[in-house]
Amino acid sequence: MKCGKRDLLLYAVTDRSWSEGTTLGAQVEEALRGGATFVQLREKKLTGEALRAEALEIQAVCRRYDVALAKEIDADGVHVGQDDMEAGDVRAILGADKIIGVSAHNVEEALRAERHGADYLGVGAAFTTSSKPEAGHIDAETIRAICETVKIPVIAIGGIKEENLLRLRGNGLCGVAVISAIFAQKDIEAATRRLHA
């Protein structure tokens, strides 16, 4: 399975810290109803069977909407960072039919990820972000240079909110990845719908 630019338009990255009285699965369903086109299960605290159970629940929700998820449950793909495995090594484990996204912070990392078989890139942080405060902010010129240099789709991630989303226009991006702009909102479906629009 491959993903196209339209699949990456609004990439929702989960964060359970805003679940307050509801399940992550219910939040993901709201995001999908609102127009999220791609979902990544991001779990820094769950491991083992608890992570697998969460991934299976989220996958079941996403499959009702034709969206992909996590590696643990033989989902359609995985996203890896610069400190994780190279895309080629991931491809060797998962196979040719899986979607592999790679984080990139500069043109060199972007080209290396593309050479090693990445299907898309997540570049950033586009703006400062509380979910990854150690991530350095990259400027619009770097984002544009990455988009102009690689042939695979590029999405921006990091600190993207409804208020600053349009500042990314014109850089060659095919979409954005967001966390709090969806999952920290009281009405997830409405927030997702506004972002999608």
Q: Which of 5, 132, 144, 194 is catalytic?
A: 132
Distance CA 150, CA 138 (A): 17
Which entry of 33, 42, 161, 193 is annotated as an active-site residue?
Answer: 42
What is the DSSP pairing of strand 175-178 with strand 154-157? Answer: parallel
Catalytic: 103?
yes
Question: How many Å is the Cα radius of gyration of the chain?
Answer: 16
Strands in 154-157's sheet, in edge-to-edge order, are: 38-40, 10-13, 175-178, 154-157, 120-123, 99-104, 77-80
Whether residue 180 contacts residue 131, with contact meaning beta carbons closer than 8 Å, is answered with: yes
Annotated active-site residue 132? The verdict is yes
The catalytically annotated residue of 98, 103, 131, 180 is 103
**Residues involved in catalysis:** 42, 103, 132
